[in-house]
Structure 1
Amino acid sequence: MMDFPALKNDLFLRVLKGEKVERAPVWCMRQAGRYLPEFREIRVENEFFKVCRTPELACEVTIQPISRYRGLLDAAIIFSDILVVPQAMGLEVLMVPGKGPHFPDPLVTPSDFKRLIDKSEGYDPHEQLGYVYDAISLTRKKLFGIVPLIGFIGAPWTLMAYMIEGGGSKTFSKAKAWLWKYPEQAHELLDRVASVSIEFLKGQVRAGAQALQVFDSWAGELSNEDYLEFSFPYISKIAQEVSAEFPDIPMIVFPKGVHPETIKEIALGTKYTAISLDWTIDPKSLITELEPEMKKINKPLILQGNLDPTVLFGDKEIIQKKTESMIKQFSSTNHIANLGHGMLPNHDPEHLKWYLEAVHKYSQL
Structure 2
Amino acid sequence: MHLDSGHPLAAGLTHDSRLIRAYRGDRPSTTPVWFMRQAGRSLPEYRELRAGTAMLDACLTPGMASEITLQPVRRHHVDAAVFFSDIVVPLKLAGVDVEIVPGTGPVMAHPVRTNDELDALVALDPAVLDEALAPVIEAVRLTVAQLEHIPGTPGPTPLVGFAGAPFTLAAYLIEGGPSKDHMRARALMHSDPVAWSRLMAWCADVTGRFLRAQVLAGASAAQLFDSWAGSLALTDYSDSVAPASARTLEYVHDITYERDGQTHRVPVVHFGVGTGDLLTVMHEVGADTVGIDYRTPLDVASERLGGAVPLQGNIDPAMLFAPWSTLEEHVLDVLRRGESAPAHVLNLGHGVPPDADAEVLTRLVELVHSR
TM-score (norm 1): 0.90
Deviation digits for residues 293-345 of structure 1 (CA, Å, limit 9, x no counterpart): x4xxxxxx100000111110112111111100111111132100000000111
CA distance in 1, matches of 2:223, 2:311: 13
Contact 1:276-1:304 within 8 A present in 2 as well? yes
Tell me the residue number matched to 2:212. 202
Alignment of 1:250 with 2:267, yes or no, is yes
Deviation digits for residues 32-86 of structure 1 (CA, Å, limit 9, x no counterpart): 001111111122121111110000000000000011113xx00001100001122
Q: CA separation of 1:116/1:168 partners in 2, compared to 1, >3 Å: closer, same or farther?
A: same
Tell me the residue number matched to 1:129. 133
Q: Which amino acid aligns with 1:281?
A: T
Tell me the residue number matched to 1:67. 74
CA distance in 2, matches of 1:122, 1:162: 18
Equivalent runs, 1:109-120 vs 2, <5 Å: 109-116=114-121
Aligned mate of 2:294, from 268, 279, 282: 279
Q: Give SS of 1:18's match.
A: coil
Aligned mate of 1:55, from 51, 59, 62: 62
In structure 2, stretches of 5+ residues that fail to align are 150-155, 257-263
Alignment of 1:104 with 2:104, yes or no, is no
Q: CA separation of 1:61/1:118 partners in 2, compared to 1, >3 Å: closer, same or farther?
A: farther
Alignment of 1:328 with 2:348, yes or no, is no
Tell me the residue number matched to 1:297. none
Q: Give SS of 2:306's match.
A: helix
Contact 2:94-2:126 within 8 A present in 1 as well? no
CA distance in 1, matches of 2:27, 2:352: 28
Contact 1:2-1:207 within 8 A present in 2 as well? no
Matched length: 350
CA distance in 2, matches of 1:316, 1:166: 40
Please report how far the alpha carbon of residue 152 of structure 1 lies from its aligned counterpart in structure 2 after TM superposition.
0.8
TM-score (norm 2): 0.89
Deviates more, 1:1-10 or 1:132-141: 1-10
Identity, % of aligned positions: 35
Equivalent runs, 1:160-175 vs 2, <5 Å: 160-175=170-185
Determine which structure has the larger helix proportion and give its number. 1
Please report how far the alpha carbon of residue 356 of structure 1 lies from its aligned counterpart in structure 2 after TM superposition.
1.5
Tell me the residue number matched to 2:362. 353
Q: Give SS of 1:94's match.
A: strand
Q: Give SS of 2:157's match.
A: coil
Contact 2:55-2:100 within 8 A present in 1 as well? yes
Q: CA separation of 1:239/1:97 partners in 2, compared to 1, >3 Å: closer, same or farther?
A: closer
Q: Give SS of 1:291's match.
A: coil
Contact 1:172-1:221 within 8 A present in 2 as well? yes
Deviates more, 1:129-138 or 1:149-158: 129-138
Tell me the residue number matched to 1:3. 6
Contact 2:122-2:202 within 8 A present in 1 as well? no
Contact 2:227-2:272 within 8 A present in 1 as well? yes
Tell me the residue number matched to 1:157. 167
Please report how far the alpha carbon of residue 354 of structure 1 lies from its aligned counterpart in structure 2 after TM superposition.
2.4
Please report how far the alpha carbon of residue 216 of structure 1 lies from its aligned counterpart in structure 2 after TM superposition.
0.3
Please report how far the alpha carbon of residue 287 of structure 1 lies from its aligned counterpart in structure 2 after TM superposition.
2.1
Aligned mate of 1:305, from 303, 309, 313: 313
CA RMSD of aligned residues (A): 1.9
Please report how far the alpha carbon of residue 217 of structure 1 lies from its aligned counterpart in structure 2 after TM superposition.
0.3
Q: Give SS of 1:253's match.
A: strand
Please report how far the alpha carbon of residue 241 of structure 1 lies from its aligned counterpart in structure 2 after TM superposition.
4.5
Tell me the residue number matched to 2:40. 33
CA distance in 2, matches of 1:169, 1:270: 25
Q: Give SS of 2:353's match.
A: coil
CA distance in 2, matches of 1:152, 1:138: 17
